[in-house]
Homo-oligomer: A and B are copies of this chain.
């Protein structure tokens, strides 16, 4: 593997990793509909504010979400909507997996 290739794969992996946690997928799912502030997401997930803040920070650093300060709240929104298209495929993968498990029964 070449060095330039490795750098690119690392960068891609970082973006994918930002989409590899159940809570972050939930957040993505919510932001797909409309922007939400940290407190709203915290409430919905039922975790500590700091935990949600860190998840959002990971997604922000990956370039997936954007934020805007309004009053004391910070509203996060989905910056790269194209990531939503991943889930058609991911769900196909899951479906195929279930199907092949069915065969075993």
Chain A interface (Cβ within 8 Å of chain B)? 1, 5-6, 9-13, 15-17, 19-26, 29, 44-46, 62-64, 79-80, 82-83, 85-94, 96-97, 100
Given A1-B46, A12-B87, A25-B13, residue A93 in contact with residue B20 (CB < 8 A): no
User: When the two chains form their complex, are residues A82 and B89 in contact, meaning their CB atoms are under 8 A apart?
Assistant: yes
Count of identical protomers in the assembly: 2
Interface of A is mostly: helix
Cα A49 to Cα B9 with chains together (Å): 20
B9 touches A13 (CB 8 A): no
Chain B residues with CB under 8 A of A9: 22-23, 25-26, 29
Interfacial chain B residues near A26, Cβ < 8 Å: 1, 5-6, 9
